[in-house]
Amino acid sequence: GAVVSQHPSRVICKSGTSVKIECRSLDFQATTMFWYRQFPKKSLMLMATSNEGSKATYEQGVEKDKFLINHASLTLSTLTVTSAHPEDSSFYICSATSGLAGGNEQFFGPGTRLTVL
């Protein structure tokens, strides 16, 4: 149980275009979803936290208008990178928690590699 999927796994786009990444909890209802960014050989950097039906809470330094997060249902959250530029190229990981697992355990998706040309 507790499977989280992400789509797409890889995406290549041109500079100036927008890209949407989906994160789904497949077998549980996710009260909270998280979006991380990870640079090579570095730890996960939290970008934002989203709760179903409410606005996302962004971490300091993360541009809200560039990284649009929508958590429309208890099983789906989306991250849209607007007007992407090469510096947005990175590995993006989502996670979800049901609030029921001990320690608010987060279940992670497999990640999406974004390359902006």
Partner 1 sequence: AQTVTQSQPEMSVQEAETVTLSCTYDTSESDYYLFWYKQPPSRQMILVIRQEAYKQQNATENRFSVNFQKAAKSFSLKISDSQLGDAAMYFCAYPGTYKYIFGTGTRLKVLA
HSE-CB at 83 with a 13 A cutoff on CA atoms is 4
- Least spacing, CB of residue 117 vs partner 1, in Å: 21
- 9 Cβ contact partners less than 8 Å away, ≥ 6 residues apart: 110, 111, 112, 113
- Least spacing, CB of residue 28 vs partner 1, in Å: 15
Strands 44-51 and 57-58: antiparallel
- Report the site for partner 1 in 84-113 (rule: CB under 8 A): 91, 93, 95, 102-106, 108, 110-111
Burial of 53 (0-12, 13-18, 19+ CB in 10 A): exposed
- Report the site for partner 1 in 37-66 (rule: CB under 8 A): 38, 41-44, 46, 49
- Least spacing, CB of residue 88 vs partner 1, in Å: 18
- Least spacing, CB of residue 21 vs partner 1, in Å: 14
User: In the chain, where does DSSP find H-type helix?
Assistant: none
Residues that bind partner 1 (CB under 8 A): 34, 38, 41-44, 46, 49, 91, 93, 95, 102-106, 108, 110-111
